[in-house]
Amino acid sequence: MATQPSEAAGGTSASKPAASKPTAGRQRGAQEMLTAAAVAVAAFLMPSEDASAIFRVVSAVLALAALFAASVCLELYQESKAKQEAKAGKNMFEVQTMRLELPPKPPGGVFGAARGMPELLKGYPVTTATEVKLLDHGFLLTSATPDGTRRLRVRLLGGDAVGWETGGEAWEEQRRRWIEAVRAAPRVAEVARIGWRDVPSFGAAASPRAVGGGEGGCGGGEGEQRLQTGAVVRVGGVVSKPELNGKFGTVLRAANEAGRLGVRLEGGKEPISLHARNVSPLPPLDTLGVSVAALRSFSSAHAHLVSGLTVAEARHAIIEPLTCECGLSLARALHRLGAEDEAGRPLAAPATLFLIAADAEPLDAVLAAAERHAASTDSPGDAYLWLSPFCTNFHAPPAEAWPLSWWQGPFREGVKSIGKAAVLFQPWEEPRALTHGWCVWQLHTALAAEVPLSVVCSEAEAARLREALLGRMDEVVSAWDRKAEGGWR
């Protein structure tokens, strides 16, 4: 990456002739001398006629001293006022622009780039009020500072891979991630300062593997999974056939007396014999959920940070910084800390509802809908929600790389063990959950697991749908007919 020197744009101030300053100084000096002489004469003559000459001289000297002090104070005041006016004029009109080149992919992902943003942007100040504008070759940042408006014109370099050239589909996705990192950057430090529920200070004493955080994002149930029939495993440590190492498979035959299993590898038809020491099971879905009290406390502590953020933005800007030291999901961290609400109920416990919400949903709307749904149950205080941003470990290797057999096996079994599922269905004309691949897969899993599925929405969205059903039923039928005919894309 390379930077170019700053350049001034606009706000040019009028220059003054150099010769005018000495002339003005000489005129001011002559006037001050005449004024001082007049004051001295007045001070000398003002005392009564019977006053001695010494008293008259002392009076004149004191008058001159008072005049000198007043003159110095006046000059200091005028200089200070002139500096303030110049500074105000600079803030109002001067715009400094800097140019910067960055790689197409944010280093360390969105969260990693957000943490290192001061170094990546060469000290350019980024705040929650920084404006972001898309450009053909990158993006433009605009920040208001005490020294005036500062702009940073960022050019994202293109890659060699297909789609990674400037303007390509992959390049545009990485530009979106860069902008997300920029918006998350000013919130990262603030999250650590707030220290909600002591989660940031939990520290790295508990690694994901040590406390059941799981190897992958969705995994992490505590306890060790036994190598039973149907278990999804990863092969490793095979010396005779090293090409098998790293592959995934499913256990079809339990271990015999020699400790060898029958494992069908991904893409294979017949099982092969592998020793139990050469396979390791993938963890089950971590089914810990968070309570309504936990969501309320989280939202209240970070109210000035979460306002206006989507679920994905809140993940990168708040949840990942909050849990980066412990390397756990937020639900698992609260569980390990033994965090409780005022009534003594744990903030994290086995989930009672699997809640499906799109990353593009506003976080405030998701939390409001979750609380509304919990309030409709018989015991709202005992409701625990499995919600992806709160219950997924984002610091472990992503589970997206795991085989389909894991998603059809342990993941589905985990959803089934929760017992109930709900989908956030808003706005009713174009539900975001039905346009997001991850949500569609969660819906498919819930249906395949044959768990009861309900629809939830915020109070405001419920009122909109009620109004439409009562007054504009044709619009509702037409919108849903189009979806039924063309598919929920």
Tell me the pLDDT tens digit for each residue of 17-34: 444 444 444 445 555 655
The tens digit of pLDDT for each residue in 249-280 reads 999 998 898 999 999 999 888 999 999 999 99
In this predicted structure, what is the pLDDT of residue 40? 58
Which residue, chain included where needed, has tokens 């002090």?
Answer: 69
In this predicted structure, what is the pLDDT of residue 18? 43
In this predicted structure, what is the pLDDT of residue 229? 87
Give Cβ neighbours of residue 367 (< 8 Å, ≥ 6 apart): 295, 299
Q: What is the mean pLDDT of residues 342-350?
A: 96
Which residue, chain included where needed, has tokens 């390509």?
Answer: 168
Percent helix, strand and coil across the chain, each to the nearest 5: 50, 20, 35
Confidence of residue 397 (pLDDT cuts 50, 70, 90): confident
Higher pLDDT, 57 or 110: 110
Give the whole-angstrom CA distance, residue 412 versus residue 473. 37
Confidence of residue 159 (pLDDT cuts 50, 70, 90): very high
In this predicted structure, what is the pLDDT of residue 49? 59
In this predicted structure, what is the pLDDT of residue 5? 44
List the 248-253 sheet strands across, edge first: 272-275, 260-265, 248-253, 232-235, 279-281
Between the two ends of the chain, the Cα-to-Cα distance in Å is: 39
Strands (E) located in 393-475: 421-424, 453-456
Six token digits for residue 419: 């017992």
Using alpha carbons, select from 167, 165, 158 the residue that is nearest to residue 103: 158
Q: At what angle do helices 459-471 and 363-375 cross, to 10 degrees?
A: 80
Give the whole-angstrom CA distance, residue 244 versus residue 457. 47
Higher pLDDT, 276 or 486: 276
For residue 163, the tally of other CB atoms under 10 A from its CB is 12
**pLDDT > 70? residue 214:** no
List the 131-135 sheet strands across, edge first: 3-9, 95-102, 148-156, 138-145, 131-135
Q: What is the mean pLDDT of residues 379-390?
A: 95
Confidence of residue 210 (pLDDT cuts 50, 70, 90): very low
- Which of 124-133, 145-154, 336-345, 447-456 comes out lowest in average pLDDT? 145-154
Confidence of residue 94 (pLDDT cuts 50, 70, 90): low
Q: What is the mean pLDDT of residues 117-144?
A: 93
Give the whole-angstrom CA distance, residue 386 versus residue 423. 12
Average pLDDT, the chain: 83
In this predicted structure, what is the pLDDT of residue 209? 38
**pLDDT > 90? residue 43:** no
Give the whole-angstrom CA distance, residue 46 versus residue 40. 10
Q: How far is CA 236 from CA 42, 243, 286, 450, in A?
A: 105, 10, 24, 35
Q: How far is CA 179 from CA 164, 175, 327, in A?
A: 17, 6, 25
Higher pLDDT, 76 or 173: 173
Handedness of CA 134, 140, 143, 144 (dihedral sign): negative
Which residue, chain included where needed, has tokens 């698992």?
Answer: 332
Q: What percent of the chain lies above the pLDDT cut of 70?
A: 78
**pLDDT > 60? residue 360:** yes
In this predicted structure, what is the pLDDT of residue 217? 60
> Which residues partner with 145 through β-bridges?
148
pTM to 2 decimal places: 0.74
Using alpha carbons, select from 57, 339, 309 the residue that is nearest to residue 197: 339
Q: 264 exposed, middle or buried (CB, 10 Å; 0-12, 13-18, 19+)?
A: middle
Q: What is the mean pLDDT of residues 330-336?
A: 96
Q: What is the mean pLDDT of residues 420-448?
A: 92
> Which residues partner with 134 through β-bridges?
139
**pLDDT > 60? residue 7:** no
Q: At what angle do helices 53-93 and 20-45 cross, to 10 degrees?
A: 150
The tens digit of pLDDT for each residue in 47-82 reads 555 667 676 667 667 766 776 776 777 778 778 777
Give the whole-angstrom CA distance, residue 261 versus residue 227. 9
Confidence of residue 156 (pLDDT cuts 50, 70, 90): very high
Give the whole-angstrom CA distance, residue 277 versus residue 259. 8
In this predicted structure, what is the pLDDT of residue 247? 93
Q: What is the mean pLDDT of residues 332-352?
A: 96
Higher pLDDT, 290 or 91: 290
Strands (E) located in 256-297: 260-265, 272-275, 279-281, 288-291
How long, in residues, is the chain? 489
Domains of the chain: 25-93 (no CATH), 95-194 (no CATH), 232-281 (2.30.30), 288-486 (no CATH)
**3-class DSSP assignment, residue 204:** helix
